[in-house]
Structure formats: C-alpha cells, structure tokens
Structure 1
Amino acid sequence: MAELNVQPKRSNSSWIWIVLALIALAILFFFFKGCDKENVKVGPGDSTAITSMNDANVLATTEPDWGSVDFNAPKSSYDEVTDQDISVSGNDAYTIYTLGENVLFATDQNALQESATAKLKQITASLDKRFKGAAIGIYGSTDSTGTAGHNKQLGAERAEAVKSWMIKNASIPEDKISVHSLGESRPVSDNASALGRKQNRSVQIVVFAGKAVNQ
C-alpha cells in the first residue's frame, strides 16, 4: 500500500495583519482630523478675527458695535485731560470723551465756536497717546425740544463738524472716524428739567480699543 504523506495545513494569519493595519489607519485618520480642527485659520474674508490679548497694547481689530455704547458708563479720568468741560467715562471695551454742546456750538447751530479748539486739541492728544489707530465714533445728542427730525439732523451736523475738525487739525484718517446722530433718542438725563436738557445736549467722542496704552 502506498504511504500517504499528509502535511498539516499551516495557519494563514495574513488576515490578522490586514485587520491590524486597518485599525492603525483609522486611528491616524481621527488623530489628524482632530489636529486640523485645532488649527483652523481665519482667512481675510472671514467675519471674525482672532486676536491675541496677551499684548497689553493691542487695539480692537473687529468692527466696533457702535450701537452698544452705554453713555451712562462709569466716570473715569486721564492725567492729560485737565479741562473741566471734558468728561471721560467708559469701560474695558471703549472710552467716551463728552463735551457739552454749549462748549462747542452756539444754540441750535452746527458751526464750531473758537473756544472749541482747545477742548478738541486736548481730546485728540489723549486719543493719540492712548488709542492711536483705533476706530472713533462721534455721536451728536440733543434734548427733546423741537421735532425729532430736526434734532436728528442737528445731531448729525454737529458730529460732522467735529469729524471735519479732527481730520483737518489732528491728522486722523477719515476712514477711522464714523458719525452717529442720536438726536433726542438716547438721553442721559430727564428732559423735564433745564439741567437735564443741558446734559442731554452734547457731543460724545467714543473710541473702541482692546486696552488703553498707559504712558
């Protein structure tokens, strides 16, 4: 009888290595996907800019929310602002320099008075010292005497007059200044009294910045 030489079949383990390789690829895929999310870059067309606030002198790079300004913000002070007619207030987001309309303009007029020059020079010097290059908004406010339409127009004209002065005399770029007429819509005091109406007639120069440069 012929002798049958039967060899035991070897275990084919190649499929095990294939499974392990697929698992390794899957792990690498999810690892690199997570890294991409952490390193998202903001392109020039994106609406939100990423700014490091570790630098104390960084100015705000996003578009200011001009409608969010609280004109009853806490009072503040700067050493270089010594004129008693200039009120300084604000918070960490913005600073407000306020001048009464009687300091800048004659009653119901939109032309700057000569006495306004020294006041505006002091404010623009402070802006240059602490907020150079920041966005500036000029707000014109009135009391409720007269029609709302007239007050809105007067507020705009007065804010424009201050803007023109700053461009011409303080060399502030026009594209850094925006004009906002509040008219009688945002009173800081009660229009029922003469004192309240006087407080409501004003021009506010608002500057947005990440943080003031304290020099």
Structure 2
Amino acid sequence: MAELNVEPKKNRPIWIWLVLALLALLAIIFLLRGCDDNDVDRDMDTDTTTATTAATTAGATTGGTTGAMDTDNRTATDADWDDIDRNAPVATYQEITDRDVTVRGNDEYAIYSVDETILFGTDSKEIRAEAAPKLKQVAQSLSQRYNDGQIRIYGYTDSKASKNYNEQLAEERAEAVRNWLTQNGNISADRITVHAVGEADPAATNQTAEGRQQNRRVEIVARRGN
C-alpha cells in the first residue's frame, strides 16, 4: 500500500496579519474623515448661501429704500423747480423800483434777474458797491413775498472762456450774491442754495456782444413754501 506524504500546512507569519489590520484601520479612519469633511463643507456652503441670501435681501431692501428716498427727495426738491419758466411773463412788484432789476414769474415763484455788469466787474467775483441798493430791493421783496420759501441762485456766463473757468466763475458769483443776501439782507443761509450753470444755458446767442452780455447774469429764484 502506497504511503501518502502530506506536508504540514505552514502558518503565515503574524506580522502579515498585523500589517493587514493596520491598513484596514487606516482605511476606516480615512473614510470617516472624508465623511466629516463633506459634512463640514455642506454646512459651510449652507451658511455661506444663507449669509449671501440674507445680504442680498438686505441690500435689495436697502437699495429699494434708498431708491424710494431718492425719488422722494427728487419729488420734494429738484422736481419742484422743473416747472420754472425762464420766459415767464414780467411781474410787477411795487417794491421793485430799480430798472436794473427785472422780475418774471407767477403766484408760485419769481425770477429776479440782475445784469452781470451791474453786479460785478470784468472777470470779478466781488460785488460792486453800486449794486447794493439793487440787491437790497431784491432782499426786501424776498422777505415780503417768499419769507417761508426756498431760494436758488443761478450763475450764468457767456462762452468766451473755457467751460471749467466759466463754471467756476458762475459759482463764485452766485456764492457772492448768497453771502450778500445772508449778511445784508437778513435772509437765512439754510434757505439759499447755489447752482453754477456757467455757459450751459444761454439766454441769447454768444456770437454777438449784446448776446454775450445777456448771458452773463445772475438769477435769484424763489418759490412759495408749502
């Protein structure tokens, strides 16, 4: 009877099992950390989205409010002056007797015009001494008829110099008139605003000396209070 030679089964070294167990442990740790990172990312994305949405909503709300306020301000201020007709009929005010002062308007507003040559010297922003009686009549009329209203002073020039120079000169002259009215005409400064138009809105042609003289002017516009 033949003999069967069976070799005994060899046991694997224990270190192999240790390595396999360590690798499995590392794999489990890696997977767990990956899940945690995903959760954190989702939380951060959610928080960021929520914050962005809130900020956008707040911005939209603020923007809407600001827009409404701008519209209200426009309605309450500038829009009230859009209906001023520079070619309104001449108004006769008994207190205005100086022929160098003209008044146009209606029951709601008045435009007092004084020729630039009466108020200022050439390229000057200093009010002439002889202009004082004319401005005094304007101040008295403003106090008598528009004591509770707002006043705007517009400065105009011809187009001979540069646009920037004309705007600066127009502003300085309008400022000089405002200062005179507040210091000598007893008109509160918070009722008066200055608007430098410069050469932008000519009353006549700039091609003739006569037209340029008409364009160099200061207009004092007053509205009745609400």
User: What is the aligned counterpart of 1:98 among 113, 116, 119?
Assistant: 113
Distance change in 2, residues 1:174/1:134 (3 Å) = same
TM-score normalised according to structure 1 size: 0.67
Q: Is the helix fraction higher in 1 or 2?
A: 2
Aligned mates of 2:172, 2:82 — CA distance in 1: 19
Q: Which has the higher contact order (CA 8 A, sep 6+)?
A: 1
Correspondence for 2:213 among 192, 198, 202:
198
Aligned positions of 1:1-215 closer than 5 A = 62-65=76-79, 66-209=81-224
8 Å Cα contact 1:72-1:188 kept in structure 2:
no
Unmatched 5+ stretches in structure 2? 1-68
Taking a change above 3 Å as real, the CA distance of residues 200 and 46 of structure 1, as seen in their structure-2 partners, is closer
Q: Deviations over 1:115-151 (max 9, x none)?
A: 1110100000011111112100001001111111110
How many residues are matched? 156
Shift of 1:209: 1.4
Cα separation, 1, equivalents of 2:71 and 2:174: 28
Return the letter of the residue paired with 2:144: K
Q: How far, CA to CA, are the matches of 2:70 and 2:158 in structure 1?
A: 40
SS at match of 1:76: coil
Q: Which aligned runs of 4 or more in structure 1 are off by greater than 6 angstroms?
A: 45-49
- Bigger Rg, which one: 2
Cα distance per residue 1:148-182 (max 9 Å; x no partner) = 11100000000000011111112211110000001
Percent pairwise identity? 44
Name the CA shift for 1:207/1:133 in 2 (closer, same or farther; >3 Å): same
Deviation at 1:90, TM superposition (A): 1.7
User: How far apart are residue 72 of structure 1 and its match?
Assistant: 2.3
- For structure 1, the residue ranges without an aligned partner over 5 or more in a row are 1-44, 50-61
